Amino acid sequence: MKKILTAITGASGALYAKKFIEIINNFGNQQTIIISNPGKEVLKHELSSKFPENNDKIFKYIIEEWNIPNPDLITIAEVDKFNASAASGSNAADVMVVIPCTMGSAARFAQGVSTNLIERAFDVMLKEKKKVIIVPRETPLNQIHLENLLKLSRLGVDIIPAMPAFYQKPASISNLADFLVGRVLEHLGINHSLYKKWNGSK
């Protein structure tokens, strides 16, 4: 069982976060979820207008409305609470996934700025030499974006841009999200059947 920290920032791509949370839970991994305030707004806009803002209500909503067979494995942490376990290296997760990741978050990650628990947890993961994956979602990218992503890559961060492929002939938006989430799972060493892997041109 992996101890996974899932962070959701305010970039478009809420479906990626939902699918990742569901699949990690279905695989029986312990998961702490931190959602930025803009992230909550995006979840509400892109997934459901009923998505709540209060963390207790978020937990209830997720376990009732999403595919969460193991609710006891999920914890919701307050984004503004720096006394959470994710803020300390003595209780760091095995891996952190920021899905989706705004360019603003990437910039603060690259500079070591901690204005909320997501950014503090990222800083902790780096100093503890733990695995970190970010899923940036922005287009087009300017030079500042690229420089920040390059710096993060040089620091050992896995960067998996929200760039779904089409060789698997996706039939829906959900299939596109499956591909992206599947790529994240592969970098976590988790086998899956979310999409048909490329096996050469027929």
Q: List residues forming the annotated binding site for FMN.
A: 10-12, 36, 102-105, 137
Query: Which amino acids are annotated as binding site for dimethylallyl phosphate, given as ranges?
Result: 167, 183
Q: How crowded is residue 200: how many other Cβ atoms within 10 Å of its Cβ?
A: 4
DSSP string, 35-96: E-HHHHHHHHHHT-TT--SSHHHHHHHHHHHS--S-GGGEEEE-TT-TTSGGG-GGG--SEE
Q: At 50, list the tokens.
A: 């009923």
Q: At a CB cut-off of 8 Å and minimum separation 6, what does 85 contact?
A: 32, 77, 91
Are 5 and 34 in contact, with CB atoms under 8 Å apart?
Answer: yes
Strands 131-136 and 158-159, bridge-based pairing: parallel
Q: Point out the annotated binding site.
A: 10-12, 36, 102-105, 137, 167, 183
- Residues written for the chain: 202
